């Protein structure tokens, strides 16, 4: 033990030395006045990122050792450390390195040249114990308990967020983490199989092996709800990775963070690809013909925009293939040409002919300039071909039965407040960004404003230089320090230019057109066809890790098979892997959930729990009056224990969390209230299954109605005990 402690202590000395060196680089970058602000910012950020990667290693820097059959040994840890004094001999192997793989996959039957695997148990920087497993013996027997580290981890009380499993990755998990597949990898597994944390470790592995390709564009992680994002956001930083954007499907459009849900019927309608036809028709419906002629006065000539002129403009604009807002320019040009043509013929009657081409076009230019500022003409444009934002169009559509009917939408789409966004609206808004396109007029106005602001800043910078420029003749040469000796004029002006100093994750999250090199989708069975269109736009390379469990699908718009979801985008480019071992839920609780699963999805096999807790789940009938007191008793009892707890129930149960908000989360103790009412809800069986499989230690059930048939064994088991 003392030798191992000494070796690990030396690793920490080297870690601290590297941290000090990076700290010096950081301070030097901050103080570097010779570089441009942008170059200095890049250097500062690079040093800060490296410092963060070193900082996370403080918690369990080294967690294992491998002894080979030839007598060599190597240490495995969170990052790699080389001996610079000994031809860069590896002192610590990064867990993602190929040489570290046997630590996770070697078995007695297949030792992979490993004689002994040693797993360290640390508290902070201090080694407190280790477990040895001797491999390669006849019949696969070995010293020590191969599952000791794993069972210690899964039995440990839960904290406030998900933890990494870097020290206890299992063979079936490691195979998925290191899978060399360039397309879409689907990881399916029941509750507690670790599919989410495996996906996050896969991201860390991909960043290690393909960092140059992935890092500059970042990784997008999409989860089922904001709470889930808070739960998992420590895992990748704990592995030294920070260029990651966490969001939900309700946050895929910058500026929105939507959690409200439509009814299952409406969610299914909006989530179907048939919604594309509705949106296209809704856009076309805003490209109108006048019901009556619209009067325009141009050059003292009375003109009108009639249905024929507008129809010609509409036909040409649509034929251009441009998005709606950009095609508005084509419509404007056609209508303006028709109006000026008529005006020229009237104004020039008797003195101007088409043969006088120069005079004709000069007059047209004057009339077009007048028309560009004509209020009646601009109002007519807005009436016949308005510039629209996605929010404007969709809100007006959803709140108008007439517009919905014109677009061919089901009347169920209607709601009184069109802008009361739901999760199902987000992919529609994203689709409309492409259907509508940019507004050239608004963009030109923004560009002119930016140019004016930049000119003002440059003038201010020049004024500052004039004030600071000192007269050489009036000062002692020994005391003279000229302003332009300290700072060049262009350098000062450069300081007045806006620079994007945000981290990559911040910039990516705010940019709808940002594309990622890899995307992780958790609870992917809940995503609609329209959701997948959004995500495929975000990752043109189609590099995804898709995590889900079809048996837990609660959304009517969600996936019924992975092939149906993925084949339209990556035919033949997706790989399927499944996880079969439940590392979270003890066998006693999984037996209860499995009975429900047998009714919910009889063709699905429940994952096998790796452990038993020795604590039997319980059920207890209560009255309306008893319920608050029973919930309080549970809360008081759990407050005296280490770990986390939650009450899960229907929305009207005081203090209860809806099942949907606990997806992907885990707690030491769970109290499920009114399971029959959960089961009777629109997404009932899947939500009750989620509720029953969140606990890692203890499960209780309070019910005012009779227990559902699938849970009858719970009550019988209790009374029998």
Task: Give CA–CA dist 23/67, Å, rounded.
Answer: 35
Task: Give CA–CA dist 197/581, Å, rounded.
Answer: 14
**Which pLDDT does position 572 carry in this prediction?**
87
Task: Give CA–CA dist 386/484, Å, rounded.
Answer: 52
According to DSSP, the β-strands at 518-521 and 219-223 are parallel
Q: Are 119 and 91 in contact (CB under 8 A)?
A: no
Q: Are 188 and 546 in contact (CB under 8 A)?
A: no
Q: Are 383 and 315 in contact (CB under 8 A)?
A: no
Strand (E) positions, 351-463? Answer: none
Cα–Cα distances in angstroms (integers) from residue 639 to residues 24, 160, 622, 644, in the given order: 45, 14, 22, 8
Q: Are 356 and 469 in contact (CB under 8 A)?
A: no
Q: How many other C-beta atoms can be found within 10 angstroms of the C-beta atom of residue 691?
A: 29
Alpha helices in 618-701 (DSSP H): 626-639, 675-680, 684-692
Closest Cα partner for 565 from 524, 603, 519, 515?
524
| 183's tokens | 């397309």
Residue 293 burial by Cβ neighbours in a 10 Å radius (0-12, 13-18, 19+) = middle
| 443's tokens | 């963009």
According to DSSP, the β-strands at 581-582 and 114-123 are unpaired
HSE value, Cβ hemisphere, 13 Å, CA-based, for 44: 16
Q: Are 177 and 169 in contact (CB under 8 A)?
A: yes
Placement of tokens 């080297």 in the chain? 14
**Which pLDDT does position 444 carry in this prediction?**
59
Closest Cα partner for 193 from 525, 552, 584?
584
Task: Give CA–CA dist 314/331, Å, rounded.
Answer: 6
Quick one: angle between helices 529-538 and 426-436, nearest 10? 60
Burial 462-501 (b: 16+ CB within 10 A, else e): eebbeeeeeeeeeeeeeeeeebeeebebeebbeeeeeeee
Q: Are 670 and 694 in contact (CB under 8 A)?
A: yes
DSSP string, 26-91: HHHHHH--SS-HHHHHHHHHHHHHHHHHHHGGGSSSEEEEEEETTS-EEEEESS-EEETTTTTEEE
Task: Give CA–CA dist 519/369, Å, rounded.
Answer: 49
pTM of this structure: 0.82
| 681's tokens | 């809800």
Contacts of 455 (CB under 8 A, 6+ apart): none
Task: Give CA–CA dist 562/548, Å, rounded.
Answer: 10
Q: Are 325 and 388 in contact (CB under 8 A)?
A: yes
Rg (CA), the chain: 33
Residue 407 burial by Cβ neighbours in a 10 Å radius (0-12, 13-18, 19+) = buried
**Which pLDDT does position 399 carry in this prediction?**
98
Q: How many other C-beta atoms can be found within 10 angstroms of the C-beta atom of residue 572?
A: 7
pLDDT < 50 stretches in the chain: 138-144, 146, 470, 472, 479-490, 492, 495-497, 717-721
Q: Are 75 and 64 in contact (CB under 8 A)?
A: yes
| 171's tokens | 């063979």
Q: Which helix (H) or strand (E) holds 608?
A: strand 608-609
Q: How many other C-beta atoms can be found within 10 angstroms of the C-beta atom of residue 392?
A: 16
Q: Are 522 and 224 in contact (CB under 8 A)?
A: yes
According to DSSP, the β-strands at 81-83 and 89-94 are antiparallel
Task: Give CA–CA dist 700/619, Å, rounded.
Answer: 6
> CA-based angle 403:406:412, to the nearest 5?
65
């Amino acid at each position: 033990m003392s030798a191992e402690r000494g070796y690990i202590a030396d690793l920490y000395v080297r870690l601290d030395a590297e941290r000090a060196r990076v700290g010096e680089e950081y301070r030097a970058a901050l103080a570097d006045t010779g570089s441009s602000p942008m170059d200095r910012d890049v250097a500062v950020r690079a040093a800060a990122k490296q410092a963060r990667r070193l900082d996370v290693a403080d918690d369990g820097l080294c967690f294992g050792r491998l002894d080979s059959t030839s007598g060599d040994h190597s240490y495995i840890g969170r990052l790699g450390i080389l001996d610079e004094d000994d031809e860069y001999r590896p002192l610590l192997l990064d867990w993602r390195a190929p040489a570290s793989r046997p630590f996770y996959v070697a078995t007695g039957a297949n030792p992979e040249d490993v004689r002994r695997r040693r797993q360290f148990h640390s508290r902070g920087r201090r080694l407190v114990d280790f477990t040895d497993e001797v491999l390669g013996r006849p019949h696969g027997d070995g010293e020590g308990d191969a599952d000791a580290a794993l069972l210690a981890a899964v039995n440990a009380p839960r904290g406030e967020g998900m933890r990494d499993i870097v020290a206890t990755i299992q063979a079936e998990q490691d195979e998925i983490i290191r899978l060399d597949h360039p397309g879409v990898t689907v990881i399916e597994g029941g509750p507690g199989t670790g599919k989410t944390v495996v996906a996050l470790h896969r991201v860390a592995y991909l960043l290690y092996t393909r960092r140059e390709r992935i890092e500059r564009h970042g990784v997008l992680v999409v989860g089922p709800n904001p709470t889930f994002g808070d739960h998992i956001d420590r895992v990748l930083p704990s592995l030294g990775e920070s260029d990651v954007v966490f969001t939900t499907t309700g946050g895929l459009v910058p500026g929105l963070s939507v959690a409200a849900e439509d009814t299952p019927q409406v969610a299914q309608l909006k989530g179907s690809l048939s919604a594309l036809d509705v949106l296209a028709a809704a856009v076309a419906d805003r490209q109108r013909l006048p019901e009556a002629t619209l009067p325009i006065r141009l050059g003292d000539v009375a003109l009108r925009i009639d249905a024929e002129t507008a129809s010609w403009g509409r036909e040409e604009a649509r034929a251009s293939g441009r998005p709606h807002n950009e095609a508005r320019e084509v419509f404007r040009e056609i209508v303006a040409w028709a109006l000026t043509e008529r005006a020229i013929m009237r104004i020039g009657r008797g003195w101007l002919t088409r043969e006088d081409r120069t005079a004709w076009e000069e007059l047209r230019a004057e009339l077009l300039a007048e028309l560009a500022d004509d209020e009646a003409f601009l109002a007519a444009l807005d009436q016949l071909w308005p510039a629209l934002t996605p929010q404007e169009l969709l809100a007006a559509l959803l709140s108008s039965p007439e517009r919905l009917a014109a677009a061919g939408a089901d009347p169920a789409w209607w709601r009184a407040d069109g802008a009361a966004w739901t999760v199902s609206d987000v992919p529609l808004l994203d689709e409309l960004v492409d259907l509508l396109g940019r507004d050239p007029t608004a963009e030109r106005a923004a560009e002119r404003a930016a140019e004016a602001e930049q000119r003002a800043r440059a003038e201010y910078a020049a004024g500052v230089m004039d004030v600071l420029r000192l007269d050489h003749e009036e000062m002692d040469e020994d005391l003279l320090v000229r302003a332009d000796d300290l700072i060049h004029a262009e350098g000062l002006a450069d300081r007045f230019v806006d620079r994007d100093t945000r981290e990559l994750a911040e910039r990516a999250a705010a940019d709808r057109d940002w594309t990622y090199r890899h995307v992780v989708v958790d609870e992917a069975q809940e995503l609609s066809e329209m959701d997948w269109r959004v995500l495929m736009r975000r990752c043109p390379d189609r590099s995804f890790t898709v995590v889900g469990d079809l048996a837990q699908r609660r959304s009517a718009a969600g996936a019924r098979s992975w092939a149906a979801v993925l084949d339209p985008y990556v035919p033949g480019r997706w790989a399927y892997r499944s996880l079969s071992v439940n590392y979270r839920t003890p066998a006693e609780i999984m037996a209860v959930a499995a009975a429900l699963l047998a009714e919910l999805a009889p063709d699905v096999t429940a994952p096998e729990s790796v452990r038993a807790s020795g604590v039997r789940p319980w059920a207890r009938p209560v009255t309306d009056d008893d319920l608050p007191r029973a919930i309080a008793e549970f809360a008081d009892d759990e407050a005296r224990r280490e770990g986390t707890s939650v009450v899960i129930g229907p929305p009207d149960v005081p203090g209860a969390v809806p099942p949907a908000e606990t997806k992907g989360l885990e707690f030491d103790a769970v109290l499920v209230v009114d399971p029959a009412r959960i089961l009777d809800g629109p997404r009932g069986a899947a939500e009750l299954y989620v509720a029953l499989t969140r606990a890692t230690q203890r499960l209780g059930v309070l019910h005012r109605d009779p227990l559902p048939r699938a849970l009858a064994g719970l009550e019988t088991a209790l009374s029998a005990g």
